[in-house]
Amino acid sequence: MDASPIPASVDELTSRLLTGERAEQIARLVRRIGVADSDAERLEVRSPVTGELVASVPACEVPDVEAAVQRSQQAQTEWARWSARRRARVLLRFHSLLLARQREVLDLIQLESGKSRLNAFEEVMATASTARYYGKHAPAHLRVRRRAGATPVLTRAWEHHVPVGVCGFITPWNYPLTMGVTDALAALVAGNGVVVKPDAQTPLAALWAFELLEQAGLPPGLAQVVTGDGPVVGGAIVELADFLMFTGSTATGRKLAARCGERLIGCSMELGGKNAMLVLPDARLERAVKGAISGSFGNAGQLCISMERIYVHRSLFDGFVSRLAEQVGKLKLGGDLDWNSDIGSMISRKQLEATTAHLEDAVAKGASVIAGGQPQPEAGPLFFEPTVLVGVTPDMDCHASETFGPLLEVYPYEDVDEAIKLINDSDYGLNASIFSGSISSARALAPRIKAGTVNINEPYAAAFGSIDAPMGGMKQSGVGRRHGAQGILKYTEAQTVAAQSLLPLTPDAGTPAAPYAAVMTFGLRALRRIPRV
């Protein structure tokens, strides 16, 4: 496995990017975080690749979150009066600016997260696709719809969707641009204000995106970003927002959902996953191997929807494992701010140690490493080789628990029913993948897999990139959906407006009750015979 040493160019680029114009940009972005106390404690943002200080951001407190919510509320009142079509135009302008200035945010994503440039570009693609989709389709999703009234002709009814107010977002470190802004785009175009708490390790890409949104026409103050300790800042958002969108661990999601329930506010959550790929006997071996690599080791395995388990039919197993080990060994690890590396750095010592602990436990209990398995400190302090295990058994920690690192388990199976049972034998149900020579056969199997998204001949991007379709988890992998109609309507309150003409539906005072009931009974029986009423 090629692990390039920390190149002089990384230090040189880091130094250059953190001085002059780029340093001024980062300082300007950080100033967007409004804090009540100018002497507030600061949190360091360091490059995972080099350990260099990239920025320091305020450790906001509850009063800062209260002020951010108030500022967003004030701007939201006027924003909600804008037509959906006018709001949508802001997203389309943002789409164009994002693509034109992508180099800026690619650098920021790599500096704060350590991922490869290609993985950083995935974030640009996902964000642009979301902005384009809601920029084009939000007005249709939000339009007033005529509904059948209580009585034909006499009653007319309309369904409206009104914004909930200010939506709170608690977003993770692994995709700082995609998760930091795309869910908020849907809330904004629905007419809401937003308050976003990015992870303190990776706040810069989200700050950059919201600055770009204002340049695209978003009213100043409508989108607020607050940084700081999760329980303090995230807790305050849950107490103050009108809706919560959270992406993170299942354990934290349960706590936040309980508090949302106490407050009787809506919430949507994408949580953990132990995602599985199924390789059927008729799958093209080379394509399945490539899918396993891209689906398991992108962003160094730190992706909620990446593959951690692969079930391969016994007839293909030996060839698959051999080819997989060969191809994994060719992957290039590196931290250059360019397009030359396949795998970037892990985000933190905590994630590196969690992956190592799963690996060591599995090996101690009898699993075999067929590729990788070693840290690569010469590439950087947090680099770890993409690793493939066989012989994993249920008593091993990695068997059922999410690793969230570059650790992949491969299992043989004898028949499809057995494989689907094994795939579904999990507390999680976020994403899955089927590789097959027959798309129709794979489609027939897909509903049997208990996962919110199922990809065919692709590990995750096909479903996630289909923004018109809902994306989210079953079981312990979350509640609610992002993307599509569900992904925007969740940020609204459905409101029915009904008008009655000529005769009242309820009897006037003094109307004889028995004749009224007889007439209404006759009407209900008549309506039963009319189709679609």
**Mind telling me the catalytic residues?**
270, 304
Other CB atoms within 10 A of residue 160 CB = 14
Reduced 3-state DSSP string for 450-481: CCCEEEECCCCHHHHCCCCCCECCEECCEECC
Other CB atoms within 10 A of residue 465 CB = 17
**CA–CA separation, 51 and 158 (whole Å):** 57
**CA–CA separation, 512 and 7 (whole Å):** 91
Which tokens is 357 given? 């602990």
**CA–CA separation, 114 and 442 (whole Å):** 36
Is residue 484 within 8 Å of residue 470, measured between CB atoms? yes
Which tokens is 490 given? 């969740």
State the amino acid at position 138 in one-letter form: A
Q: Which position has the token pair 């990809």?
A: 455
Give the chain's radius of gyration (CA, Å).
26
Q: Which position has the token pair 């108030």?
A: 70
DSSP codes of every residue in 251-295: HHHHHHHHHHHHHT-EEEEE----EEEEE-TTS-HHHHHHHHHHH
Bridge partners of 170, per DSSP, are 197, 246
Q: 27-52 burial by CB neighbour count: b if 16+ within 10 A, else e?
A: eebbeebebeeeebeebebbbbbbee
Report helix, strand or coil for 495: strand
Pairing verdict, β 428-429 and 474-475: antiparallel
Cβ neighbors of 319 (< 8 A, separation 6 or more) are: 285
